[in-house]
A = this chain, B = another copy of it.
Amino acid sequence: MVMFWQPLSVESWIGMRRGSLSDVKDSVNTIIEDVRVNGDKALFSLTEKFDHQKLSSLAISSEEIDAAYDHVSPELVQALIEAEARITQFHELQKSKTLWLEEMEPGITLGVKTTPLDRIGAYIPGGRAAYPSTVLMTTVAARVAGVPEIVVCTPPKVNPLTLVALDIAGVDEAYQIGGAQAVAAMALGTETIRPVQKIVGPGNVFVTQAKMMLREYADIDFPAGPSEIGIIADASAEPRYIAADVLAQAEHDPNAACVLVTDSKKLAAEVGDEIAQQIANAPRREIMEKALAHSGYVIAESMEDATDLMNRIAPEHLSIQTVDALSTLSGIRHAGSIFIGPYTPVACGDYASGTNHVLPTAGYAKSYSALDVNHFMKRSQVQMVTREGLESIGDVIEALATAEGLAAHANSVRLRRE
């Protein structure tokens, strides 16, 4: 049974993943200009147009959040609390010293001061699905970084579980606005929503295009598209587990994609058989089949070759299923989040291991980091030079400044050495 599972080339994978955002450029631009000119009024009318909701207020009230607890089981509330605790714990470990200073030579002290951003925004997708886990991932990372004002936008008719997650995460302000208009509101500001310095979180192509177009106003995490998994495995791997991870990825979205890179033809075939078996009773089979239509496997000449191929793919999620997984890990250069060994399904990182699930897709892991506290902090460099220190670097500075034609630069050093 290989109807869902075919050989792929790395080239075709790369060509397929980086979809163009330009199709929606004009529509997104119209929305951005509407929000820029009409502010809140545009948000109300765009929400009526796209989400078919007549809002009475943009903000989600604390009463609505309190009331949501009545619609969520105590077990689920507890699960969110446990997930939040693990995410907090892991993100705490990512923090570096807020200030370090080191005397490099007598009188020349250099260092770095790290500070959180003042105000950030997280976009949480909505629509038919609920993503309380994404509320935790985006906002807990910002809270641990020390950002004082955390704003969330999510489309209206917010699921009670998402509302409870907003509360557990300790979000400061939440608005029931979705799509490109939410991104425009957070970047440009309206009467009700003050602008943020950075916007993070996943979204559809409209949301991503709006994030890209508004980067002059608010920085972003990274461009992110449909979810994907790369699995690097040898003959020692368990096909049943790999198939389960493939289907978990495939159920996200018809545009999700999965690729197995292995030196074992036998394994590739067995995974195909397992997929065919497991998909039979899957509730989201239709979505899975669409995603599997552009998924498949690559047969590598060796596991070294497999590692090289996987670095070219730079998958959002990378699962390592090899005899010596840590040695495979050492060769990996590009991946958003890495899952090692048979008992670490990607679902662990999606929900509760503590790592973040907001990750660069489509090869962007070659240049972007998985979301973490560093996305919500920035580094100022610091220097403190004494009269003695200035003496040791003064000549070099004066020579280079003069050579660059900047006499006043040289003078600013010279008059201090008089």
Contacts and interface: CB of A to CB of B under 8 A. Distances in A.
A370 B379 contact: yes
Contacts of A282: 407-408, 411
A132 B212 contact: no
Given A132-B400, A251-B409, A403-B130, A383 B351 contact: no
Contacts of A129: 404-405
Given A112-B94, A338-B113, A412-B244, A370 B365 contact: no
Interface of A is mostly: mixed
B403 A351 contact: no
Nearest to A411: B244
A24 interface: no
A4 interface: no
A290 interface: no
Interface in A114-140: 115, 117-118, 129-133
Given A336-B380, A337-B383, 5 more contacts: A212-B216, A335-B380, A352-B393, A369-B379, A370-B380
A82 B396 contact: yes
A4 to B, nearest CB: 13
A385 B343 contact: yes
A8 interface: no
Interface string A330-362: 001111111111111111111111111000000
Interface of A: 21, 75-76, 79-80, 82-83, 86, 89-90, 93-94, 96, 99, 102, 104, 108, 110, 112-113, 115, 117-118, 129-133, 161, 197-198, 212, 215-216, 218-219, 222-223, 240-241, 244-245, 247-248, 250-252, 278, 282-284, 288, 318, 325, 329, 332-356, 365-370, 372, 374, 378-387, 389-390, 393, 395-397, 399-401, 403-413, 415-416
Nearest to A359: B381
Nearest to A399: B79
Nearest to A410: B347
Nearest to A355: B381
Given A336-B380, A393-B348, A86 B112 contact: no
B403 A76 contact: yes
A88 to B, nearest CB: 11
A270 to B, nearest CB: 15
A245 B332 CA distance: 47
A83 B396 contact: yes
Nearest to A108: B353
